[in-house]
Chain A
Amino acid sequence: MKDVETRPRRYEWIVILAILLASLPLILGFSLLMLSSFSREMVTNLDLSSFHFTLENWINVFQGKLATTGGIRTNILKITFNTLVVALGVSGVVTFISALAGYSLSRIDFRGRKHMMVLLLILHAFPGVALIVGVYLLYRLTFPQNPDVIRLYSFFYVILARAALEIPMSVWLMKGFFDTIPWEFEWSGIIDGASRIKVWWKIMLPLIKPGILAVALFAFLAGWQDIIYVRTFLIDQTLATFIEANIEAEYSHMPLIAAAGTLYLLPTIIFFLTAQQILLQGYSGGIKG
C-alpha cells in the first residue's frame, strides 16, 4: 500500500515487530544451521562460545569426506549432480508438457475441455500417497532386465513420476499465462496461414517466456527438494537421501551435514535473491481459474 498515505511510523514498526517475532523460530533455525556449517561444533544450542570458525566442513564436503575420523568417503559432487539431474529433468518434462497442454486448454474449444480441466484440479488435490504404491508397482513391473541400464532407468522413472505430480498444477498455471495474451495475436497468425502448432511455436511461446520461466522454476524446485520419490525410486543418492541416511549415524560429523544441508539450500537462496516476483506470484496464479 505504498500509494496510500501511511499511518504514523510508530504504528508500522509495531506490525513489523510483530511479524518479526512470529518469524523468529524460522530465522533462528535456518541461521543456526548455516552458521554451524562454518563451525567445528554445532551451534544450535545458541551458545556462541561453541562457535569456532572453520572452513573444514565445506572443504570436507567437496572432498567427499563424511566423517572426520572414520574416513567414510562419499562423493558429494556426484550426489549434487544426481540431485541436479533429477531437478532439471523434472523441470524440463513439466515445462514441455504444460506448455503444450496449457495452450490448448486456453485457446482451443473442444468437447470435454471443461471436464479435462476439472479432472486436472481433482488430480492436483489427489492424495499422492495413494498413487505412489501403484507407481511403485508399475516401476517394478517395467524394471529392465539388463543390469547396465537399471540405474539409468531409475533416473528416467523418478523424473517422469515426480514430474507427473507437478503436471496438473503447472498446466493450470501455464493456461493462466496463455489466457493473458490478447486473442488478436492468435487470430493474426491464423489469418496469415499459420497452423495452431505454428502459432504456438512462433507467436505464443515467445510471448509467454516469463510464464515458461516461472513454471520451469517451480518444477525445478519441486524436483530439487523432493525426498519421497528419490528415496523410493532412485538407486543413486541425492542430497536429500544423503542427509536422511547420515543424521542418526554414529560416524557422522554433524557440522559436515550442516554444510551439506546449506549446499542443498543454495538454489533456493539463489532464487530468493533473483526471482522474488516469480516466487511471490506463482502460487496464486496457478490454482485459481
Chain B
Amino acid sequence: MNKTSREKFAALSFFLSPMILMVVLFYLVPLFMTIYISFTRMRNWNVEKYITEFVGVYNYQRLFYMFQHDPTFKAVILTTVVFVGITLIINVFGGLALALATFFISEKPASTFRLLWLLPRMSPIAVYSLVWYYFFHGSEIGTLNSILMKLGIISQPIPWGQIVPWGAWSIIIFVNGLVGVSFGMIVFTSALNQIPKELVIAARVDGASAWEISRKILIPLMKWHFLYVLTWQFLSLLTTYPHIFLLVQWDLVNRDYGTTLALYVFNTAFGRGEQDQGLAAAAAVILSIMGIIGGYVTLKVLQFEKMMKRPRGDF
C-alpha cells in the first residue's frame, strides 16, 4: 500500500468501524447464534444445561409436524397469511388514498391530517396498544361496544377479540393497518410533490377532475413508488410483532388467532410459561430465509443499485 491508500484506509476505518462493529455484534453474531440454537434443545434459557445439547434438525422436524397436525400452529400460519395479505392491501391503498386526498386539499389541513396519521407510528407502543385495548374492550367500558349499544345495534357487550377467527383478525389487522398506512402515505406524498406541477395545472385547465387527474396522470407516474411500498411493506408486515404483542399479552384478542408467525417466535422464546428457544430459533431461521429472499428480490425489482451514485474525486 502506498501513502495515499494507507491514508484512505485509515479514514475508512475511522468512519466505518463503529457501524461494522454494531452490525457484527448485533446482526451477524446473533444470526449465527440463532441458527446455532435452532440445532440445540435450548429451553427456558437454561443456557448452561442445553447449550451443547445438539439435536440435529429435530426442531425443524417438530415445526414441520406442527405445521401438519398442531391446530394452534396451523392457526398461527393461517393468521399470518390473512394478516399480511389484508393489512398489506389496506396499507398500500390506504396510504395512496390518504396521499392523494391530502394532495388535493389546502396545505394546512393536509399536513395536519398527515401528522395525525403518523401518530400510530410515533406514539409509544404501550400507549398505542392501551388506546385500542379500551376501544375494543369486551365489556361495556369498550368504546366500540358502548357506541353500538347506544345505537341499539347490540344489547350485550361483545368480546370482539375473542370471536375467532374474524374478530381477532379484524382487530390485529386494524391496529397494525393504521401503523402501516403512514409509510405509504409519506412515500406517495413525496412522490406526488416531485411530479411537475405543470402536468396537473395543464390537466386542470383542460377541465379534468381530481379523480381523472389521479388515475390518468398521478398514479401512472408513481409506479415505482407503488412497487416500493408494496414490497417493503410486505417484508415489514411479515416480520412485525411489537404492535400486536400487547394485545395478545393483555388477552384482548384470542391467543391463537391473534398471533402471527413473528409473534409466535417471540412468545415461544420469551413468553410466559414454558419457553422453547430451540423451536423458536428454528421458526426464526425459516422466517429469516423468507425475509432475505424477499429482501433480495425487492432490491432487484426496485433496482436500488441504479440509484447509488459513485462518489466523485480520486483523492
Contact = CB atoms under 8 A, between A and B. Distances in A.
A282 to B, nearest CB: 8
A282 B131 CA distance: 25
B37 interface: yes
A108 B12 contact: yes
A134 to B, nearest CB: 3
A227 B126 contact: yes
B204 interface: yes
Contacts of A226: 125, 242
Contacts of A243: 126-127, 130
- The range of chain A's interface size is 35 or more
Contact of A5 (B29, B102, B204, B306): B204
Of the candidates B130, B228, B288, B307, the one having the most CB atoms from chain A within 10 angstroms of its own CB is B130
Interface residues of B, number: 120
Main secondary structure of the interface of A (DSSP, over half): helix
A137 B122 contact: no
Given A1-B103, A137-B30, A244-B246, A287 B308 contact: no
Contacts of A268: 119, 122-124
A52 to B, nearest CB: 15
Given A117-B308, A126-B288, A284-B190, A19 B22 contact: no
Interface in A170-217: 171, 179, 183, 186-187, 190, 195-197, 200
B245 interface: yes
A221 B124 CA distance: 8
A33 B265 contact: no
Contacts of A107: 311
A100 B21 CA distance: 13
A72 interface: no
Main secondary structure of the interface of B (DSSP, over half): helix
A18 interface: yes
A125 B143 contact: no
Interface string B1-40: 0000001100110111011001101110111111011000
B195 to A, nearest CB: 11
B295 A126 contact: yes
Interface stretch (A53-61, A62-70, A144-152, A271-279): A271-279
Nearest to A171: B19
Given A100-B14, A130-B291, A2 B106 contact: yes
Contacts of B164: none
Of the candidates A129, A135, A187, A228, the one having the most CB atoms from chain B within 10 angstroms of its own CB is A129
B57 interface: no
Contact of A164 (B26, B178, B241, B285): B26
B59 interface: no
Contact of A248 (B105, B250, B270): B250
B15 A200 contact: yes
B299 A122 contact: yes
Given A23-B113, A183-B313, A279-B118, A127 B131 contact: no
A-B pairs with the 4 shortest C-beta distances? A134-B30, A289-B307, A164-B26, A134-B33
18 contacts: A3-B197, A15-B105, A19-B102, A19-B113, A29-B131, A30-B123, A42-B134, A45-B140, A46-B147, A97-B19, A109-B311, A121-B304, A125-B232, A130-B31, A138-B25, A164-B26, A200-B15, A289-B307
Given A134-B29, A187-B313, A283-B186, 5 more contacts: A16-B105, A101-B19, A110-B8, A134-B37, A197-B14
